[in-house]
Structure 1
Amino acid sequence: MATLCLRGSALQSPRPNCGDNYKRNAKWRSPQAAVIPNFHLPMRSLEVKNRTSAEDIKSLRLITAIKTPYLPDGRFDLEAYDDLVNMQIVNGAEGVIVGGTTGEGQLMSWDEHIMLIGHTVNCFGGSIKVIGNTGSNSTREAIHASEQGFAVGMHAALHINPYYGKTSLEGMVSHFESVLSMGPTIIYNVPSRTGQDIPPRVIHTVSQSANLAGVKECVGNDRVEQYTKSKIVVWSGNDDECHDARWSHGATGVISVTSNLVPGLMQELMFEGNNPSLNAKLMPLIEWLFHEPNPIGLNTALAQLGVVRPVFRLPYVPLPLAKRIEFVNLVKEIGREKFVGEQDVKVLEDDDFILVSRY
């Protein structure tokens, strides 16, 4: 009986006898796949700089989904980026999500994406946990990006479920199991963007992996509590619900957009105990931030604070003038000193903004 033989990395199998009699009389049968167990192993080294474990990620209370600033030609403004990350560290943030939705990873090439993760690790990896968004709706891309992200030193990966094309629940499990093999991972559930919920039974199935650090959950606090009762770590993905998620539903903390602007106040909200008065004080700002899809409000706000240049990569455009005026009033009400940056907040005119379509 013929056998398969492995020569180098190539698999060879004998050809069938394809004589005329064979072609006339034989029934076609699909070839049996040759499977090599663990053929595609993660390339991650045990000696990666800043190597961490999922347990080190599980304790983080304030993680900022960091904004990516731009130069007028649309390239990254690394000077402004470094200042913004440093402000997060000084004000008590314990981690940053690099290239997430807020950081506009969806508008980056993978080269830009991995470069920014590596840059963040190189500059700040000793002071803050760097969590790279290496998720994709393609499992192949998600694996490759995660390998690269861990190779440049990120502490953990953020992974979304396959969006747009979507998949079955079994496909979702297989996707997450594939990327979890790379290293510490936070799974991100945001059905409003993906069009598909990650139900608890998927999370419970993949929670057997030691690399699952936890879930960024945007469905609501009832779901948060479902997980915390099962000893699964959860971060609220909704700034408007994060106070109650933390102090009433067992969430470890928040992965926050608002902390880009007021990291000290968000640190107080997550670290200092139940504080409904501070939560109520922040609510008008949070509602303003999410009046349009994130990161439109954040980009507009940081530009008016003078922290980033007023440059937008399309399809994002600034909030209209009335909302820009409203933001200035919110800053004055909360206190300019509570916000990042040192310049006076000001209302920018339409002509002050640069919209970049090619970069």
Structure 2
Amino acid sequence: MDLKNLTGSIVALVTPFNDDGSIDYASLDKILEFQVNNGTDGILILGTSGESATMTNAEDLAVAKFAVEHVNGAAPIIGGAGSNCTRESYNKSLALQQIGVDGLLIITPYYNKTNEEGMYRHFKTVLDAVDLPCILYNIPGRTGCSISVRNVERLSRHPNALAIKEASGSLEYVSDIAHCLNKDFGMFSGSDDLVIPLMSLGARGVISVWANIMPKEVHEMCKNFLAGNLEEARATQIRCMDLIHALFCEVNPIPVKQALADMDFLKPNYRLPLYPMKEENHAKLKRAMQEVGLLD
């Protein structure tokens, strides 16, 4: 599937687990079907929301294979291929390509970080190796490092660089890289609370945690903005801000998995170090879900 013109809402899908910690494929099938039936524009698997940092390579590839086969072209599948080890990201990218994902998400190297040239070569190594469109992932709050404006400029010219997922939360940074955006290289908001502001600076849409529970609404919000229906798009963003804040009142994906559990899509199971949310935060989440009509 050609991702060149991909816009709108890409869900950062969670990975359901059984009580024994194994992957819950029955629930995975259910949430994939929910996304497809509600018009999501793309499905990201094995990202931060998918708890891929706690999964083995074999589990990653099994989830990717399941998603590709079960979605069967109804929506593009983007596989998270990130690692703080460039060789590992390279190997995982090639394995996901062989399975049949439509694109890749590559994160900045966390923990060991790197210098300017090392950051560039981390991404370029994967971009050179694959025949898939790749989204660069900038989230310094998680990784402790950021893609410099100069490196965004350099990487944006690579034929396999599709876009950047921008989750720094800095509108100044977004404004500084906006000149890199064109028909060949785009941007997706990586922050659910800043979708409309980033789209006003040229983003094509969002890679969204929120879309796990409201895929139709997030899709329609992006669609409205791109169609010039700005008031409708802004109204959705503003109406759902309390819910978005509640989805991040504890570290992602703890609240969104609890929300999906409250909607009977899965069990709220995590892999350590993630742990079920505090009851007072769960109460806050349920109130926010009730306010937008997700719960009675």
Q: 1:222 aligns with which of 160, 172, 176?
A: 172
- The Cα shift of 1:221 comes to 3.1
Partner-residue secondary structure (3-state), 1:70: coil
The correspondence of residues 1-359 of structure 1 with structure 2, limited to 5 A, is 52-53=1-2, 56-181=3-128, 182=130, 183-219=132-168, 220-230=170-180, 231=182, 232-246=185-199, 248-273=200-225, 274=230, 275-336=233-294
**Paired residues, number:** 284
Q: Deviations over 1:71-98 (max 9, x none)?
A: 1111111111111111111111111111
| Structure showing the higher helix proportion among its residues | 2
Counterpart residue identity of residue 95, structure 2: Q
Q: Tell me, which stretches of 5 or more residues in structure 1 are unaligned?
A: 1-51, 337-343, 346-359
Contact 2:255/2:285 (CA < 8 Å) preserved in 1? no
Q: Deviations over 1:84-129 (max 9, x none)?
A: 1111111111111111000100010011001111111111141111
% identical aligned pairs? 33
- The Cα shift of 1:184 comes to 1.4
Counterpart residue identity of residue 201, structure 1: R
Contact 1:224/1:251 (CA < 8 Å) preserved in 2? no
Larger Rg: 1
Q: Assess, with a 3 A threshold, how the Cα gap between structure 1 residues 58 and 197 changes in structure 2: closer, same or farther.
A: farther
Give the distance between the partners of 2:48 and 2:239, measured in 1 at CA. 25
Counterpart residue identity of residue 240, structure 1: D
Q: Deviations over 1:204-254 (max 9, x none)?
A: 1122211000100112333333333332410000000012212x2111000
Give the structure-2-normalised TM-score. Answer: 0.92
Contact 1:161/1:189 (CA < 8 Å) preserved in 2? yes
Greater shift, 272-281 or 205-214, is seen at 272-281
Counterpart residue identity of residue 149, structure 2: P
- The Cα shift of 1:134 comes to 0.8
Q: Tell me, which stretches of 5 or more residues in structure 2 are unaligned?
A: none
Give the distance between the partners of 1:146 and 1:164, measured in 2 at CA. 20
Give the structure-1-normalised TM-score. Answer: 0.76
Counterpart residue identity of residue 205, structure 1: R
Greater shift, 84-93 or 282-291, is seen at 84-93
Contact 1:66/1:102 (CA < 8 Å) preserved in 2? yes
- The Cα shift of 1:57 comes to 4.2
Partner-residue secondary structure (3-state), 2:198: helix
Greater RCO, 1 or 2 (C-alpha within 8 Å, sep 6+): 2
Give the distance between the partners of 1:154 and 1:57, measured in 2 at CA. 14
Counterpart residue identity of residue 172, structure 2: D
- The Cα shift of 1:331 comes to 2.1
